[in-house]
Amino acid sequence: MTAPHADAPPGGVAQRTTKDLAKAAVSGWLGTALEFMDFQLYSLAAALVFKDIFFPSDAPGMAIILAMATYATGYLSRPLGAWYFGRLGDRVGRTKVLFYTIALMGIATTAIGLLPTYHQVGILAPILLVVLRLAQGFGAGAEIAGSSVMLTEYAPRRNRGLVGSLVALGTNSGTLGASAIWGVLVATLSTQAVIEWGWRIPFIASSLIMLFAVWLRRNLKESPVFEGRADVVDGEALSREQLDEAAKHDNVLAEAMHERKGRAFFEGFFLRFGQAGNSGMVQTYLISYITAVLLLAPSVGTGVVITSSLVGFVTVPFIGWLSDKVGRKLMYIVMSSIALLLAGPMIYMIATKNVNSVFAGYIIIHQTSVLALASLENNTMSELFGARARLTQLALAKELAAIVATGIGPVVAAALVVGTGGSWWPIAIMIGFFSICSLGAAIVMPETAGRDLTVLNDARPGEAIIGPFARKERARLGLPAPEEVRVN
């Protein structure tokens, strides 16, 4: 029998074994991997074949814009899914939501692989594709948020960054898996075979991951933080009427009910806006740019994604581990600044068409502007929000930012590049813009590393116990230094 997890958050929350933590970690990793596999499958398909089988056009640039626009529709339903499943998760628990989201997401992805093409059924083909993208987005709206919250609430306080980086590794694993499958397809099949039937294989094969994740989540124990919340009785959050009555005798509940929401939400929004925007630019549009504008072989586009994803298995947990040592705020400031400074030089390297420069430029900009921020994002946002509405706020902040940044970004980039005759500088400017958004949010937010996740209110200065900014905040407020705070 594994010993109970000794570093559980304070406040009388239920203890979980190391085995429980491992199951939660694998569950979160699988769900996030499937989500990003779904979207990477589509983004690569849009760049390589969908422009031909769903959006045939005499103008290749216009076909790519239409394919990217359909990619964006998947983000239209994500805020609705975030609101619906987020509220459900804050009311009845995290595990039920995680079961529903992965099932819906997986079924929609598999169904894309069974669709007829434009040449078979005409306009009905892209319409059905849009419908499935909307269903995919609705399920994905709270998947990564739910996985982030679950794993952060399970993790030891001083190791949340490292443990939580598994969610970001899930994004990396999904991207790698989708890219590897596409890499095998383009390497072993003729272009005609890929267009006629080969493109269906990755979408149908994703059902295997979905089935395993659904099986695993059926027996996953609830988050110990959710079970220990002050407004949860018998595994379900109190109704508004019950809260009003309980708040008369409980100052913690009363304060949480009257907390003015806003600042933490917008801080989380812009953290996500920057990372999501860079993700859309680098992981989606840049592959189309390499293939359709620079006219390099499709194997180059898939190859850079696979190579960079493999590098990410080292950099993602390293960044998470560093954030446990020096704090989330400092790491956000450092990595966003690096991404801002390198955007121009790295995109220029890619635009030279030299294959070695393409690989080097893509790997560096992908690691700094996308994967490093993803490693920090899930834990930071989970710690930023209070326990009472953590999943709802996190999911909405993520998805509302994503619908603007990731959904619109590739479309705008495609239009600007076409309008400037294939120039590289619009891509660099947009990556720089998104990096500035993350940097600004990091500067104004409080340090969050190590704060007590059972607190119902959003993060405030001085609550964090890890990192140089936590020390400064606590010293300014006259609170004991982080080293003096006992961590149970």
Domain containing residue 356: CATH number: 1.20.1250.20
- Tens of pLDDT along 292-306? 899 998 889 888 988
Q: Would you state the pLDDT for residue 250? A: 62
Round to whole Å and give the CA distance between 181 and 204: 12
Q: Would you state the pLDDT for residue 242? A: 67
Q: Would you state the pLDDT for residue 487? A: 41
| 3-state DSSP assignment of residue 477 | coil
Domain count along the chain: 1
Within a domain: residue 17? Answer: no
Round to whole Å and give the CA distance between 31 and 29: 6
Q: Where are the alpha helices (DSSP H) in 74-159?
A: 78-92, 94-112, 118-121, 124-140, 143-154
Angle subtended by helix axes 160-188 and 298-326, to nearest 10:
170
Among 343, 352, 256, 262, which Cα is nearest to 300's? 352
Round to whole Å and give the CA distance between 309 and 179: 9
Within a domain: residue 18? Answer: no
Within a domain: residue 247? Answer: no
Q: Would you state the pLDDT for residue 10? A: 42
Within a domain: residue 1? Answer: no
- Tens of pLDDT along 307-356? 998 999 999 999 999 999 999 999 999 999 999 999 999 999 999 999 99
Q: Would you state the pLDDT for residue 27? A: 85
- Note the pTM of the prediction, 2 decimals: 0.83
Within a domain: residue 117? Answer: yes
CA 312 to chain centre: 15
Residues 6+ apart with CB under 8 A from 419: none
Within a domain: residue 243? Answer: no
Residues in the chain predicted with pLDDT less than 70, given as ranges, are 1-15, 47, 51, 56-72, 238-258, 260, 482-488
Round to whole Å and give the CA distance between 324 and 158: 6
Q: Would you state the pLDDT for residue 140? A: 86
Within a domain: residue 301? Answer: yes
Q: Would you state the pLDDT for residue 1? A: 30
Q: Would you state the pLDDT for residue 403? A: 83
Within a domain: residue 5? Answer: no
* Residue 83, domain extent: 23-232+252-481
Q: How close are the terminal C-alpha atoms of the chain, in Å?
A: 22
Q: Would you state the pLDDT for residue 7? A: 40
Buried b (16+ CB within 10 A) or exposed e, 397-423: bbbbbbbebbbbbbbbbbeebbeeeee
